[in-house]
Every structure is written in C-alpha cells, then in structure tokens.
Amino acid sequence: MTASPLIQSKIIELCEALVADGDIRSARDKAEAFLADDAAMSIYREMATLGRSLHQKQHHGEEPEGEEISRFHALQDSCEENPVISGFLAAQQILSGMAESVNAFVGKSLESGRVPTPEEMEKKGSCGEGCGCH
C-alpha cells in the first residue's frame, strides 16, 4: 500500500530532520570514515570472520585451538584501540538505535491507533496486558 500524500510528506519531514541532526550526521561521518579506511576495514573484517568461525566450531561441539583464540583476542584489542573502528562501532549503535526508536514509535502508533506517550515508549520488554512480564 502506498502512503497518502500527507503521510509521505511527514515521512520526508522526518527524514529531513534525521539527516540534519548533528548526532546522526556525526555518526554517518564516522561510518563513512571507517568505510574509506581499508586497513581498519581489513582488521575488523578479519576479527569478525574469525569470531564467526570460532562460534561455529563451538556450536558444532569442536574446541577452538588456543592459537585461534589468541589471534581473535589480539584482533579484538586492535579493533578497540583503533579510533576509526571504535568510532564506527559507536556510530552503528547511534544509527541503529535511532532506527529502532523510529520503528518502535511508528509501530506503537499503528497498533494503538494513537500517538504513544513518552512513558509508553520508555517501557522496554512489555508485550501487553496479561503476558506475564509485568
């Protein structure tokens, strides 16, 4: 279903506010700096690939070798010490957090048929009345 012209204009307005926001712009700059840094991307990619490999080994009941674990920890340390990589990771949290916030707000509005209050949006993990998590 296509959004009505009013909703489309409000979506555009929201997107304009997002791209104009200083925190969002800063996070995007950090993400772009990471993507432009081949050395940082290589270290991060190697750490992520080795991490997945170690996870798969454990998942299949295999014991990772000590050398693999040491290499993974060394790569983790390199990633944590690299300002471009740590900036990228912080940027990812900001950008995904904003996307989650927007999605949660819109979803709650669609579910309830009204604009949710800030207090309702602060509640995490609640899935409604009678669910047993209250």
| Residue 100 clears pLDDT 60, i.e. is over it | yes
Please tell me the least confidently modeled range out of 53-57, 70-74, 125-129: 125-129
- % residues pLDDT > 90 (the chain): 84
Nearest to 54 by CA among 77, 71, 78, 74: 71
The pTM (predicted TM-score) of the whole model is: 0.76
Q: What's the chain's average pLDDT?
A: 91
Mean pLDDT, residues 60-70: 93
User: What are the extents of the domains in the chain?
Assistant: 19-102
Chain-centre distance for alpha carbon 71: 26
Reported as a pLDDT band with limits 50, 70 and 90, residue 1 is: low
Question: Residue 60 has what DSSP assignment?
Answer: T
